[in-house]
Every structure is written in structure tokens, then in C-alpha cells.
Structure 1
Amino acid sequence: MVGSRVAAVGKHPPSRRYLLVLSCISLLGSSSWPTSSGPPPRPPPPHHTSPSRRPSASGAAKDVKLAFAKGEPNATFADLPAPALEWEEMAKAPVARLDGAAIQIKNLLYVFAGYGTIDYVHSHVDVYNFTDNTWGGKFDMPKEMAHSHLGVATDGRYIYVISGQYGPQCRGPTSRSFVLDTESKKWDDLPHYLYAPATQLWRGRLHVMGGSKEDRHEPGTEHWSLAVKDGKALENEWRSEIQIPLGGPHRACVVANDKLLVIGGQEGDFMAKPGSPIFKCSRRNEVVYDNVYMLDDELKWKELTPMPKPDSHIEFAWVIVNNSIVIAGGTTEKHPLTKKMILVGELFRFNLDTLEWSVIGKMPYRVKTTLVGFWDGWLYFTSGQRDRGPDDPAPRNVLGTTWRTRLRLE
């Protein structure tokens, strides 16, 4: 049985400089998305470099160019060997979405907001019923609610929606946060907080952490929490918690076996072009993480076995199945020569008994920001942005397609 994805929040920050900004979308590939290369890559700050196996950006580029000169492709951005899976196409979502959000409650997948195109964002919720393979029950979001890069969590009835990006292109964050009663379909306000952090509900508190700062590029490491119950905040202010070792957006945030985990993600992202009246997106360098961190009873972040490859844009692309975390797709390091974004087409499994990773299958295509659920032995995914084809892993079309495959984990 899948563990429901849940979100988190923290103490109200003392000033605006503590607002975390979830990164602007990584929108590369389609002619409707930005494709300019922007300024040349720069290495990440030393204190944000992963202690596991992450070289600096400049050092990695030199190593890769040497490898290419010798005819040796670099495995960080190449497809990994994976078993073939049999996928079945299901009912198509009412709209195509990129950087939307999703949360599963029993047999229903609630799908929020997202980009339709770089210039248009959705402001409603669609609901997918796993049992009868139908989409229905569309309802509007509050007008003040963000349209992408949301932090989302649930306790099984109430869905907490934290901050996010308001509007299309690379507009700025909103600090507005809401809670949805899925039985009455009524919305309520939560205290203001951060912009698009990793979010989870853990031990009665809504935790939020990481994300990007107000320029949408610089990573934030702040971590806050707020006591909540039955859709209500029990406190008026967020409580400061232990900082996350690596900041940045687009990571999975999971509660499993009473432990809080953050997985993958990235540092850096698109920013608004200075002086643009429409906040047009301008590309910046990103460094993608393979890091996995865990918070347990000791309340100290512990680094676990890294992912099989760096992976970002996976915040709603995971489920828990048979005491394992399964992650679908994402983005990895850019191609070192062409600098194009590279999508991920593998299914990764993190075994919570052994704390080890494996590659358990291939998806129908490479895809980022897909929305994943699990029901009655089937793994589902819908929406996101897919690759240009089997031989071109760069992003292209934004989709509303839904797929499923039988998933049995020993």
C-alpha cells in the first residue's frame, strides 16, 4: 500500500529575506519555452557542494571533455541499464501540466495548478480516480494561491498547500499558504510562510525546508515547522528547525518509517530577465544532486547512499511501495558539450530495509515533473514534460497523458 505524500511547514521567518523561492521551471526544449543559454556556467559555492561525489561544475566539465576525447560517455547524464516494463495508456488528463503538484488520498489523485505553456498557468484542481480510470470533480483554487512550484502534504483528509510561484514565466513567489478539506472542498488560510520548499507532514508538524531564495537561483537552507491538526494551525508562528545540508528546489521529500528524507533536487535555476515587464525566464546554471539526507530521532541530518544518478524535478514523482521509495523520471546533469537539459527515463527504487538504490525499470519515455500514484498493484504517472524521442533526451512537449504499469517489489 502506498504511503500518502505529505507536505510540511515551519516557523514564521522574521523578515522577507528568509522567504524561500522555489526555482523557476526548467523549461528547455519546446519552442514555447526559453532556450537561450544565458551566462556561462559557474561552479557552486563550496558549502553547497555535495560531500558525497559531486565535483565542482568547472572540474566536472574538464573531466567530461577528456572523457569525450577518449570516446567515453559520462554516465551521469546517460541512460542507465534498466528492465523493460509493460506500460498501458490510461485516460488522458483534462489539461497538460508542467510543474503542477499532486497528492494521493486513497484511490484519488488530486492534481493542482501547473503551467499549460510558459505564458499560461492553470488555477484549478483536477481529480483522477484510479478505480474507474476517470478524471472529474474539477474545482477552482483560491485566487491568491500560487500556480506552480507548490509545497504539498496531506494527513489523509486535509491537503496543505504551501507558497509557490504566482503567475506564468518566472514571476516571483507568494507567501500565501492554504489548506483544502477534501470532503467539503472548502479552502482555508494557513499562516504565511516560504516559497516552494520541500514539504512534509511529520510527527504532527508541517515541515518546510530548502527551496531557492527570492532571486529563484540562490539556494536556501532554512528549515521551519508548524504544528497542525485537522486542517488548522495550532501555532501562530513557525518554529526554526535544523538547517538542511543542501538547499535548492525540485527534490522529493518523504516520510517513511517515522523518518524524514529529502532526495535529489538541484542548486540554481531560471531567473526572471532583469527589467522584463513579463518576468521572462532567463536560463542560469544548475548543479543536480544525487544526495539523500535523513532526519530521525537524533534530529541530525544523516547522509545516506546517493541515487544511481543525479536527479531533480521529482517533488511529486514518488510513492512508497512495499517499504521502498519509487521515483519516476526527472532531470539529470546537462549534456557537458551541448549544455542541453537531459531528462530521466528510469524508475529508481530506494529499499528502506537495506538503504540501497536500484534501477527497476524504464518508463515509456523520459519525463520530468511527472505526477505519480500507486493503487491496487499499479504504478501510475501523469503529466510533465517528455523528451524529443528515444534518441534525444532533451525536453519538448508538455503532456496530460496518463500511464500505468504493474509493479511488484520483492
Structure 2
Amino acid sequence: MVRPSGKHTSARFLLICVSLLGIALIVDLFWASSSSSSSSSSRFSISSNWVPDPIDNSKAPPFINTDHNTLPTKEKAVHHQNATVEGRVLSATFADLPAPELKWEKMVSAPVPRLDGAAIQIKNLLYVFAGYGTIDYVHSHVDIYNFTDNTWGGRFDMPKEMAHSHLGMVTDGRYIYVVTGQYGPQCRGPTAHTFVLDTETKQWHDMPPLPVPRYAPATQLWRGRLHVMGGSKENRHTPALEHWSLAVKDGKTLEKEWRTEIPIPRGGPHRACIVVDGRLYVIGGQEGDFMAKPGSPIFKCSRRNEVVYSDVYMLDDEMKWKVLPSMPKPDSHIEFAWVVVNNSMVIVGGTTDKHPVTKKMVLNGEVFQFDLDKLKWSVIGKLPYRVKTTLVGFWDGWLYFTSGQRDKGPDDPAPRKVIGEMWRTRLKLNK
């Protein structure tokens, strides 16, 4: 056998190495192309599933600081609306909507700060009821603001059995009808008690209790009857659809029992309920809320998921619920944050979807107008800061708001401080 020479062996070895290197490069190119295609397909799929999902909201417990996450600055927030995080397009519903600047004037603050309180305006007086002072302390009195001389005064107590927050409340111009709500601090459940207040004599009287307790129900006077709708069930979290009514006149009940009415299309608390020109409107709100921690002796608040919505429903002569144009963004915690001016409903502040990154509650800082002639929503101004469960009045061309829970600052819409501040601005509506 003839053994090959050294020169031929080296050439053959070099040729084999080059061939193997070429094969490796080709395999690597095919793998990279396949990986890129797969990655692109995966991002598109996740993005498609993320964008249409704007109504999942988790509420931070009242007065609890959740500073472990921080929001981006305004510039970063704008960038995030069109950016991706881990391949997902972020929902932009948490962002402030463009709105005209309003000139706000700070007035004398309320005697105490309030969250989840209630307010009723009768002529030039704003009656401000109950509410949390802190998570462990609730108010059980009424303060009165006089729009004529811009002063607070006339404090008086509520009945001992009356709920302290999340009340349903409405007036006929003299008598204030008070329906159910949460009794006590933290996350205790609702009561079924109802009362009526004679604002001229400051006397309270009992009314028939609701068939079952309800938490933050929509409440209005309509066609001689006191209507109570929705809210949450006894656990504070489960949405209720029931709708009851009771005949009332001049502070007296004309029936001994509540009558069952057509259920509301979507249950839940923290919504505005308004009557204009013989039609009843229910606006915004949410499904779900905090519940008491199981076994907690103080009913300590335990976080739950919420769904904030922008739905608007109307009940008219046919006694059928009709769907109207939705709000410009989901909005909750607005049960006493509205006024009716020039056949328009004006809604102030509230809460919207949770932030898609930090998962914190996001407060609204806009003033919304719903023109009832055109059935059209518009954003007519900005508040001095974002705020929820604020209490609103209107007098002599001025829009007022007081109390509630404000944001952490211009660049952080999460809730922080409970306030008693009073602000006002001149209100000019576009028709």
C-alpha cells in the first residue's frame, strides 16, 4: 500500500474544515431566520390580546400608600402609550385626556377631610354628610357650606344607626332621603336602614328598610318614587342588579314595603344617578370593590379586582333601559360628583382603569360634559389635581368641588391624601 504524501494530507484537511464551517454558517442563518419569524409572530399575538383589554381595575385600599412602584414622568407616560413592554402594547386609558385649562380659586376648606362621603345641594346650601376621616375613623355628622357667603357652619349629628359612607342620597328640595350604605370604618358591610331629613327643622325620621342591605347603590327620586338600583351586595364586592322603589311625598313614605322594579342592566357601586326632564340616567361605575379580610376582627380591607366602565343607561316612559353614548373614558367614584347645568350633565373627577404597569388605581382629573340635546360627551376642563369621590355643587355660575382623595402629584395619578379642600371655577358650557 502506498501512503499519501504530507502535502496532500494537509490540503484535504483544510478542505474538510472549510466545508464544515460553511455548513455551520448555513444552519445558523436558517435558525436565526426561523427564530426571528417565531418571535415576531409571538409579539403580534400578545399585542393583539393586550390592546382590547382596557377594563380591569384593582383599587388600592383607602389611605394605604403603595409607593413600591412609581409612575413614569409625563414625558415617559406619553412615550409609554405607543411603546411596548415585553412585547405588549400598553393600554392608554390610564392617561389624562386633553382638556382646556380652567382657572380654579381655592376657597375655605371643609371642617374635616372626607372620603366616600355624600353631598346634597338645596338652593345656596351644600349639605355634606359622613365619610371616612381615616381608614379607621368615620364621621357621623353633617357640615353645611353656604355658597352665598362662602362659609362653613351649621354642623349637626346623624342618627346613630345611619351608615357612615357609601350612601345613596337624594332630595326633593327640602327633604333629603338617605338610603343604606356602609356602617363603620375599614371594610365593614352595608346596612339596610333608610332615613329622611327635614332640612328646615333638622329632624330625622326612619323609613322602611331595604329588602336587603346594599353598598353604594344608585339612588334617585323619579315620578314620586324613591328608586334604589344596583350597588354591591353584602360582601361589598359582588355587583347587585336589583332595583326597588318606594312611594314618597313631603318627607313621608306612602307605602310600607319597597316595590320590585326592572333590574339595572349592569350592577355595581360608585356611579352617578341623575334625573333630567322626566328621564332617569345611570352613569359610569364599577363592578367589584374591597372586601373584609376573612377572619379579621376589624374587617380589615382586602384588595380585590375591579372593572371600571363608561356605560350610560337611561330609563324613560317605556320603563325599559336604553344604552346611550359612553363616557370619554371609564369613570367610577362619581356618585356625588355631578351637577346639571343648561340641560347638560357635568361630571367631576373619579377613577378609571388601573395603570397597566404598576397596577395601581388611577384617578381622573377631567371635567366631563354630557349635552342632553345632542347626546354628546366632551371634556371641558382640568381640575387642579386628580380626585375621586369629590362632592360637587353649582351656584351663580360657579362650579364647586370639595373633599375626596387626591393624587400623589402631577406625574403620579395614584390616590394618596384625603382632603377637605374647596375649589371653584367659572363654568361656561359650549352648546
In the alignment, what sits opposite 2:99?
Answer: 82
Counterpart secondary structure, 1:405:
strand
Shift of 1:266: 0.1
In the alignment, what sits opposite 2:187?
Answer: 170
Q: Does 1:135 align with 2:155?
A: no
Partner AA of 2:98 in structure 1: P
User: Of 300, 303, 328, which aligns to 1:283?
Assistant: 303
Counterpart secondary structure, 1:402:
strand
Matches within 5 A, 1:68-79: 68=85, 73-79=90-96
Distance 1:311 1:67 in 2: 25
Partner AA of 1:293 in structure 2: Y
Partner AA of 2:391 in structure 1: L
Distance 2:208 2:59 in 1: 29
Structure 1 regions of 5+ residues with no counterpart?
1-24, 38-63
Partner AA of 2:242 in structure 1: E
In the alignment, what sits opposite 1:200?
Answer: 220
Contact 1:34 1:283 in 2 (8 A): no
Alignment CA distance shift 1:120-1:106 (3 Å): same
Deviations 1:299-350 (A, max 9, x none): 1000000000000000000000111000000000001221100000000000
Shift of 1:34: 8.2
Distance 1:244 1:153 in 2: 18
Q: Which has the higher contact order (CA 8 A, sep 6+)?
A: 1
Distance 1:258 1:398 in 2: 36
In the alignment, what sits opposite 1:227?
Answer: 247
Partner AA of 1:255 in structure 2: V
Contact 1:65 1:337 in 2 (8 A): no
Contact 2:61 2:301 in 1 (8 A): no
Q: Does 1:375 align with 2:375?
A: no
In the alignment, what sits opposite 1:399?
Answer: 419
Counterpart secondary structure, 2:345:
strand
Counterpart secondary structure, 1:174:
strand
Contact 1:381 1:403 in 2 (8 A): yes
Alignment CA distance shift 1:400-1:310 (3 Å): same
Shift of 1:131: 0.6
Alignment CA distance shift 1:215-1:189 (3 Å): same
Alignment CA distance shift 1:299-1:338 (3 Å): same
Shift of 1:409: 1.2
Deviations 1:15-67 (A, max 9, x none): xxxxxxxxxx9554744x68999xxxxxxxxxxxxxxxxxxxxxxxxxx9985
User: Of 223, 230, 234, which aligns to 1:210?
Assistant: 230
Larger radius of gyration between Structure 1 and Structure 2: 2
In the alignment, what sits opposite 2:366?
Answer: 346
In the alignment, what sits opposite 1:238?
Answer: 258
Deviations 1:176-216 (A, max 9, x none): 11000000000000100142310000010000000011111
In the alignment, what sits opposite 1:269?
Answer: 289
Alignment CA distance shift 1:366-1:332 (3 Å): same
Distance 1:242 1:328 in 2: 29
Alignment CA distance shift 1:67-1:237 (3 Å): farther
User: Of 125, 135, 143, which aligns to 1:108?
Assistant: 125
Q: Scaled by the length of structure 1, what TM-score is found?
A: 0.85
Distance 1:219 1:76 in 2: 23
Contact 2:63 2:134 in 1 (8 A): no
Counterpart secondary structure, 2:305:
coil
User: Of 384, 387, 398, which aligns to 1:364?
Assistant: 384
Distance 1:337 1:308 in 2: 22
Partner AA of 2:143 in structure 1: D
Q: Does 1:318 align with 2:335?
A: no
Q: Which segment drifts farther, 191-200 or 400-409?
A: 191-200
Contact 1:28 1:35 in 2 (8 A): no
In the alignment, what sits opposite 1:47?
Answer: none
In the alignment, what sits opposite 2:72?
Answer: none
Structure 2 regions of 5+ residues with no counterpart?
1-57, 70-80
Deviations 1:94-148 (A, max 9, x none): 0000000000000000000000000000000000001100000000000000000
Alignment CA distance shift 1:122-1:313 (3 Å): same
Deviations 1:134-166 (A, max 9, x none): 000000000000000000000000000000000
Number of residue equivalences: 359
In the alignment, what sits opposite 2:325?
Answer: 305
Counterpart secondary structure, 1:335:
coil
In the alignment, what sits opposite 2:116?
Answer: 99
Contact 2:104 2:384 in 1 (8 A): yes
Contact 2:59 2:354 in 1 (8 A): no
Distance 2:191 2:247 in 1: 21
In the alignment, what sits opposite 2:14?
Answer: none
Distance 1:365 1:204 in 2: 38
Distance 2:176 2:84 in 1: 47
Contact 1:221 1:245 in 2 (8 A): yes
More helix by share: 2
User: Of 120, 126, 136, which aligns to 2:143?
Assistant: 126
Alignment CA distance shift 1:35-1:276 (3 Å): farther
